[in-house]
Structure 1
Amino acid sequence: MSEVNGCLLPGDLWYWPEKHVWVRGPEEDGTVVVGMTDVAQHLAGKIVVVNLKAPGRALAQGKSAGTLESGKWVGSIPTPVAGQVTEINEAVKKNPAVVNQDPYGAGWLIRVRPDNWEEGSKILVSGAEGIAVYRAKLEAEGIQCQS
């Protein structure tokens, strides 16, 4: 786990730094898990409502997979890869604070079967490169996460 400007960034995930979302996978069944980064949950503040697109819905890359609401923000959850929603995290709908408490674990949002992982993942970064790209973005925008 890397820490950049107080923000936690696991090295084993794929990131779309511009949109503050992460992807884990692909899993053995070809699906990927999507969530928002520690950066995003810090910027949003305390999450109070999570609405997610239903399983079976087709999602276009960059389009909304659902919405999050906090005391100071309402926003869309951008889809990092095009595909079909196979599962949503019902636990975060019932207890949205889990997204703040554990954004990379219990706070995941949706599971997607990508239409074309090889093509879709080209906008994502991972490993040391991913951390470096995210570091540059946070520093350029002056973003700090507070514990």
Structure 2
Amino acid sequence: MAEVHGCNIPEDRYYWIEKHVWAKPEGDVVLVGLTDVAQSLAGKIIVVNLKSAGKTLARGKSGGTLESGKWVGSIPTPVAGEVIEVNGAVKANPGLVNEDPYGEGWLLKVKPSNWDEDAKALVTGETGVASYREKLEQDGIHCQK
């Protein structure tokens, strides 16, 4: 896992850097969550509301909302498809997104309608880390631990 400006950026995720969300293909589903950068910018997350299973999402549309002490907003989804599972643990304990955004703090499992196409708009691996580094430096962002 790479660390940039105190932010963890695993190379095995696909990032929509401008939206601070990630996608990770696992078989025929794609796991979706917020990046370490997003949770750091948001601060302590106190409420997570996610779209329910069975909902069809367009890429870039809201997969849910979250609320922190300093921010309320929608969570854009990096992949189009049908929500097949929501992480009930983060609804019960929203702090999981702060504590483990790439593990226990995942948000949605989506059955993608066209992963190959959506993946082209995302960055991953060393390119993803380098692109995220550029964004963090450009915006002066540092993660707080």
State the TM-score, normalizing by the size of structure 2.
Answer: 0.99
Q: What is the match of residue 84 of structure 2?
A: 86
Q: Deviations over 1:57-76 (max 9, x none)?
A: 00000000000000100010
Q: What is the match of residue 115 of structure 1?
A: 113
Any idea what SS the aligned residue of 2:19 has?
coil
- Structure 1 position 123, deviation (Å): 1.0
Q: What is the match of residue 65 of structure 1?
A: 63
Q: Which amino acid aligns with 1:141?
A: D
Q: What is the match of residue 123 of structure 2?
A: 125
**What are the residue-to-residue correspondences of 1:1-147 with 2, within 5 Å?**
1-25=1-25, 27-28=26-27, 30-147=28-145
Report the count of equivalent residues: 145
Residues in 2 aligned to 1:72 and 1:63: alpha-carbon distance in whole angstroms: 22
Q: Which amino acid aligns with 1:125?
A: V
- Structure 1 position 121, deviation (Å): 1.1
Gaps of 5+ in 1: none
Extract structure 1 runs of 4+ deviating beyond 2 A: none
Gaps of 5+ in 2: none
Q: Deviations over 1:73-112 (max 9, x none)?
A: 0010001011000000000000000100000000000000
Residues in 2 aligned to 1:142 and 1:100: alpha-carbon distance in whole angstroms: 20
- Structure 1 position 122, deviation (Å): 1.2
Any idea what SS the aligned residue of 2:106 has?
coil
RMSD of aligned residue pairs (Cα, Å) = 0.5
Residues in 2 aligned to 1:123 and 1:41: alpha-carbon distance in whole angstroms: 22
